[in-house]
Amino acid sequence: MEVRLDPAGRMELGVIGEPAGHGAAVDFRRVSLAGISSQPLVRACGEPGQLLDATAGLGGDSWILAAAGFLVTAVERSPLVAAVLRDGIARARADGRLATIANRIELHVGESAAMLAASGTPWTAIYLDPMYPPKTKSALAPKPIRLVRDAVGDDLDARDLFLAAVAANPGRIVVKRPHHAAVVHPEPDLTFESKLARYDAYLRSGSSLRTLRPSPEKSL
């Protein structure tokens, strides 16, 4: 995989050897924001506040959340994927119609679990959308998702990231899961369904995280 410029001068993630223009670029002008506050992702994340998108990818979900009023810290560990996202955010910042939303997103390149352990930020919400294995070998995901998968592989440490999020004690943790996914976390407090996925919300004030949270005795 490589990052190169497409014919419109945007950075794109693509397969080495394929012509420029066949990869995935980030262009937030194309994102529809109609009915944004009723989108399951936005409802799952609760009241707008300081949100960590710990699996930023190409930033589609960060963008929706920023448009809904969240201040988004987006973290992506693949330098290739992050470079393409950084380019998309920079172009949005230079576009008068998109700048307000783009300025609500701060991108970091790195490992979210390490960042969570180091930062004392009182996150309103931590959002997790790790790569998951395709439903069947023949089921074809949209091209940008396939390209990101080719660049980063499967996120086999998703459970560790969830536990790092629990330890950071945010107001809530929201995990995006495909409908077919096995339950890898305890039962959520709330679930919001969309056509393609569900958003499981684990609330600090709820009961779902109690068994995972380090007790005061354990941390002595």
Ligand X SMILES: C[S@@+](CC[C@H](N)C(=O)[O-])C[C@H]1O[C@@H](n2cnc3c(N)ncnc32)[C@H](O)[C@@H]1O
- Beta strand 50-53 with 71-76 is parallel
Pick out residues in 172-211 that bind ligand X (CB under 6 A): none
Pick out residues in 68-127 that bind ligand X (CB under 6 A): 75-78, 81, 111-113
**Among residues 130 and 171, whose Cβ is nearest to ligand X?**
130
Nearest Cα neighbor of 64 from 22, 102, 99, 94 is 102
Taking the complex as a whole, the smallest distance from the CB of residue 76 to ligand X amounts, in Å, to: 5
**Among residues 77 and 177, whose Cβ is nearest to ligand X?**
77
Q: In what order do the strands lie in the sheet with 125-128?
A: 105-109, 71-76, 50-53, 125-128, 172-178, 197-203, 190-193
- SS3 per-residue string spanning 133-158: CCCCCCCCCCHHHHHHHHHHCCCCCH
Per-residue tokens: 190: 């709330």
Draw the binding track, 131-170, toward ligand X (x: CB under 6 A; -: no contact): x----------------x---x--x-----x---------
Give the CB-nearest residue to ligand X: 57
- Which of these ranges, 12-20, 51-59, 88-96, 99-107, lies near ligand X under the rule CB under 6 A? 51-59
**Distance (Å, whole) CA 137 – CA 94:** 41
Q: Is 55 in the site for ligand X (CB under 6 A)?
A: yes
**Among residues 130 and 170, whose Cβ is nearest to ligand X?**
130
Interacting residues with ligand X (CB under 6 A): 54-55, 57-61, 75-78, 81, 111-113, 129-131, 148, 152, 155, 161
